[in-house]
Amino acid sequence: MRGAIGGVASVCALALIGPVAAQEPQSSTRDIVQGMSVERLGRIATSMDREIAKGVFPGAVTLIARRGEIVHFAAHGYLDAAKTKPMNKDSIFRFASMTKAIVTTAAMMLVEQGIIKLNDPVADYLPELKDLKVEVAKTDESGQVSYENVPADKPITIQDLMRHTSGFFYTFTVKSPRLKQAYEAANIEGSDADIPGDEMLKRLHDIPLANQPATNFLYSVSVDVLGLLLERVTKQPLDVLLQDTLIGPLGMTDTAFWVPAEKADRIAEVPDGDPLKKLSLRFCRTQDEIKKTYLKGGAGLCGTAQDYFKFLQMIANGGEYQGRRYLSKKTVEFMLQNHLVGMGGSTESSTGPGYGFGLGFAVRLQDGFGWSPGSKGDVMWAGLFGTSFSIDPKEQLVFILMTQGATARLQSRHLFKNLVYGAVVE
């Protein structure tokens, strides 16, 4: 059954150490493991239990690796707000926007193969997106705002999709009420009903961009479009492409766009009272339900913390994992650099201050500026329903927080980062 969870089985500084495959921590009486304090790592459970008791989220899974060894991996609390099912290390989460890094990586594999180029116009592959318009707001002397649609002055490129400089947007990121209403009416994000990919592209063409391409970072449906582009280029459904190139070879056996019935009781749920509960139910559905809509390259995958860790470890190793190379070291370095030089916009609503954006990952631009510790060049991203990850090449760290506490997601990820860096003692 194509794409179903249960596919084929199978951190380090990019320039500082060679590739490694992270191993489970060995039982040890050591006070320090890979430069991290065992006692300080114990604070994570205490903090997670406190957040659970406060009702911030029902439960969580936390995973940390240093220098290629998993030094912490634990489940906390419950799968559900009713506290009827315990959280487990193999619990399944809605990755949401953490899907973007995986899809962008698959696209970069095609770049390395010479199949696509970053500066290729998107319309070369998706002709539905030719001749796009851009909304321009004008304010007269009385303060009255009017809108005009003008032609885009350059084509959207594949690179624009990867770094969110296309001019597309999400309804929760765009300022223009006119554009927000247009996306909602056209169901561009598929939030209310299923929509085929070809139909989504046709509707997208008829709605103006929020800004000229390659001028401004605006978080968006761009990677959903990238996923549809990859399907056209490879003539494969997105789930099959990802299974063949990344998910299967990496051994991400619980990761897919849908969850089979025998694994449904492992899904972590967004609490009923959370405003994002209804939206969350659009993801991690059955295969028959998901196949009614297009597979969202920007939000659709579900899986476990350990599955996602295998992907991150590969990136942290410079494109290699357990003896198999997925990307070249130079390609990964290129992806993890800031691609927004000279442009407007900000990632702050997702990352806090101090980050730019590369190809699929937010990138920390300097030391000593942000809401939590880190290093210049560390990369991260997160999902709408409470998942997040970071890779710190300088400190050889990879860490993941999986919750489904959607509303508190920003503060939860910074709490976890404080706990992780607070355990680094060597």
176 in the same domain as 144:
yes
280 in the same domain as 228:
no
Asked if pLDDT for residue 10 goes beyond 60, the answer is no
Give residue 16's pLDDT: 36
- Residue predicted with more confidence, 292 or 180: 180
pLDDT category, 335, cuts 50, 70, 90?
Answer: very high
- Residue predicted with more confidence, 21 or 183: 183
DSSP for 111-139, written as a single string: HHTTS--TTSBGGGT-GGGSS-EEEEEEE
Tell me how far the alpha carbon of residue 209 is from its chain's centroid.
23
310 in the same domain as 198:
no
243 in the same domain as 315:
yes
Residue whose pair of structure tokens reads 């554009």 in the numeric block: 179
Domain stops at, among 207, 234, 261: 234
186 in the same domain as 334:
no
Kindly report the CATH number assigned to the domain that includes residue 410: 3.40.710.10
Domain extent for 135: 113-234
Asked if pLDDT for residue 123 goes beyond 60, the answer is yes
Over residues 36-52, the pLDDT tens digits come to 999 999 999 999 999 99
Question: Percent of the chain, pLDDT > 90?
Answer: 76
Domain stops at, among 234, 256, 288: 234
Return all residues near 401 (Cβ < 8 A) that are at least 6 apart: 60, 61, 62, 386, 387, 388, 389, 412, 413, 416
pLDDT category, 182, cuts 50, 70, 90?
Answer: very high
268 in the same domain as 198:
no
Structure tokens at 127: 């002709």
pLDDT category, 281, cuts 50, 70, 90?
Answer: confident
CA 19 to each of CA 99, 272, 403: distance values in angstroms, whole numbers, following the listed order: 23, 43, 29
| Buried b / exposed e along 143-169 (16+ C-beta atoms within 10 A) | eeeeeeeeebeebbbbbbbbbbbbbbb
Specify if 21 maps to a domain: no
167 in the same domain as 51:
no
Specify if 117 maps to a domain: yes
Give residue 20's pLDDT: 52
Q: What is the mean pLDDT of the chain?
A: 91
369 in the same domain as 261:
yes
Over residues 124-151, the pLDDT tens digits come to 999 999 999 999 988 888 888 889 999 9
Over residues 228-254, the pLDDT tens digits come to 999 999 999 999 999 999 999 999 999
Kindly report the CATH number assigned to the domain that includes residue 167: 1.20.58
296 in the same domain as 220:
no
Specify if 20 maps to a domain: no
Specify if 389 maps to a domain: yes
Name the domain count of the chain: 2
Specify if 15 maps to a domain: no
pTM score of the predicted model: 0.91
